[in-house]
C-alpha cells in the first residue's frame, strides 16, 4: 500500500491510499504525519490504521496519472547519510583528490569503514519539494548532480514506518573543494525532494532488495540512465537510524535518506531544463524538472 497526497479540484489537499491493483481510496487525513500520530496514539501500525479507514469505502474513479500529486508528508526535518555505498566513496575521493578514486586512508575511506556513519541535515519542511516541482541549480557551482536514494520515514521513536524515493541534490565541486563545505554543497533552495508516495513499511518484503533507477533527459532525449540495488548498501537501516537517534530528538515524520549508488560520469553536470526521474517500482517515480535558481541580490549593511 502506498500513501499519496493530491490536490483536489477546489485546491485542497487530500490524502489517499493506492492498493496493489492501483485502485485509490480516500483517507480521512490531510498528511501522512497524521497517520503516524494516530497509529502511535492507538498503539497500532500505520497499515492497520489505513485498512480500518478504508474498509467500508469505495475506490475513486480517477487514475493515479490523472492526479496532481503533492509532497505526501510535511517532514519537519530531512536527514541524509553519506558514503554508504562503495561507488559513493570513490566519487567523493575523485572530487577531493584530483581525479583519484582510490586514495590511501582518505577521510572518505575512513568514514566508509568507520563504525560511526556520516549523517547530516539535508532539509527542513519549508525547503523540501515534492513530485513535479522544480529542483534548483546553485549559481556558484559548476558541477551538480541528483543523488537518487531510498528514504526512510520514521516516527519519533525511530521506527521505520514507511519508505519513499529521495533526491539529494549535490554540488560536487563545492564538497570536493573542502569537506567542511558540505552544508553548502547539500542545502539550498529546492535542493531536496521526495515522493511521489510513501510505501507502508509492513508491505515491503525486503527493503534490501529494492531497485533504484535514475533517468535524466535533456531536450526530450535521454542522456543518462543507471540502476542500482539497495543490496549494495554497506550499512543497515537500523544502524543509520540508531546513530541519528543518539542523544537527538526525532520528530514524527522525520525522513532519512540512505545514500546513493548512482552517480553520473565525472564530466556530467545538470543543466537548466533537464528532467530527473527516479524510480523505485514499489514506490513510484519521482519526477523533478531542473531550473536555474534566480540570482538573489542582497544588500550590505555597514556600521
Q: For residue range 101-126, list pLDDT tens digits in order.
A: 566 667 788 888 889 999 999 999 99
Residue 297 clears pLDDT 60, i.e. is over it: no
Residue 199 clears pLDDT 50, i.e. is over it: yes
Question: How high is the pLDDT of residue 249?
Answer: 95
Q: How far apart are CA 208 and CA 206, in angstroms?
A: 5
Question: Is the model more confident about 297 or about 40?
Answer: 40
Helices (H), ranges, 71-162: 86-96, 107-113
Find the mean pLDDT for residues 196-217: 97
Q: How far apart are CA 215 and CA 298, in angstroms?
A: 36
H or E stretch covering 237: helix 237-245
Question: How high is the pLDDT of residue 302?
Answer: 45
Q: How far apart are CA 183 and CA 123, in angstroms?
A: 10
Helices (H), ranges, 57-147: 86-96, 107-113
Question: How high is the pLDDT of residue 91?
Answer: 79
Find the mean pLDDT for residues 19-36: 94
C-alpha 92: how far from chain center: 19
Question: How high is the pLDDT of residue 93?
Answer: 78
Using an 8 Å Cβ cutoff, are 247 and 114 in contact? Answer: no
Question: Is the model more confident about 232 or about 89?
Answer: 232
H or E stretch covering 150: strand 148-154
Burial (Cβ within 10 Å: 0-12, 13-18, ≥19) of residue 204: middle
The mean pLDDT value of the chain amounts to 92
Amino acid at each position: 500500500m502506498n500513501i499519496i497526497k493530491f490536490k483536489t479540484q477546489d485546491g485542497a489537499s487530500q490524502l489517499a491510499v493506492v492498493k496493489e491493483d492501483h485502485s485509490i481510496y480516500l483517507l480521512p487525513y490531510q498528511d501522512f504525519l497524521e497517520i503516524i500520530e494516530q497509529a502511535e496514539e492507538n498503539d497500532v501500525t500505520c497499515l492497520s490504521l489505513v485498512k480500518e479507514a478504508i474498509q467500508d469505502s469505495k475506490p475513486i474513479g480517477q487514475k493515479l496519472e490523472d492526479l496532481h500529486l503533492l509532497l505526501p508528508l510535511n517532514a519537519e526535518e530531512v536527514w541524509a547519510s553519506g558514503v554508504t555505498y562503495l561507488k559513493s566513496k570513490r566519487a567523493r575521493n575523485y572530487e577531493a583528490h584530483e581525479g583519484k578514486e582510490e586514495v590511501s586512508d582518505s577521510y572518505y575511506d575512513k568514514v566508509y569503514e568507520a563504525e560511526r556513519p556520516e549523517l547530516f541535515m539535508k532539509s527542513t519542511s519549508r525547503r523540501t519539494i515534492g513530485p513535479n516541482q522544480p529542483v534548483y541549480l546553485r549559481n556558484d557551482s559548476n558541477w551538480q548532480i541528483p543523488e537518487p536514494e531510498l528514504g526512510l520515514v520514521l516516527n519519533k521513536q525511530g521506527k521505520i514506518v514507511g519508505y519513499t524515493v529521495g533526491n539529494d541534490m549535490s554540488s560536487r565541486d563545492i564538497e570536493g573543494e573542502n569537506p567542511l563545505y558540505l552544508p553548502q554543497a547539500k542545502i539550498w533552495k529546492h535542493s531536496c525532494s521526495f515522493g511521489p508516495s510513501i510505501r507502508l513499511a509492513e508491505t515491503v518484503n525486503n527493503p534490501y532488495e529494492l531497485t533504484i533507477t535514475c533517468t535524466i533527459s535533456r531536450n526530450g532525449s535521454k542522456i543518462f540512465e543507471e540502476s542500482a540495488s539497495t543490496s549494495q548498501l554497506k550499512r543497515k537501516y537500523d544502524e543509520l537510524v540508531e546513530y541519528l537517534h543518539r542523544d537527538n530528538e526525532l520528530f514524527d515524520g522525520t525522513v532519512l535518506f540512505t545514500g546513493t549508488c548512482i552517480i553520473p560520469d565525472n564530466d556530467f553536470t545538470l543543466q537548466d531544463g533537464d528532467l530527473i526521474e527516479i524510480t523505485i517500482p514499489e514506490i513510484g517515480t519521482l519526477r523533478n524538472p531542473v531550473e536555474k535558481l534566480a540570482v538573489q541580490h542582497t544588500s550590505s549593511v555597514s556600521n
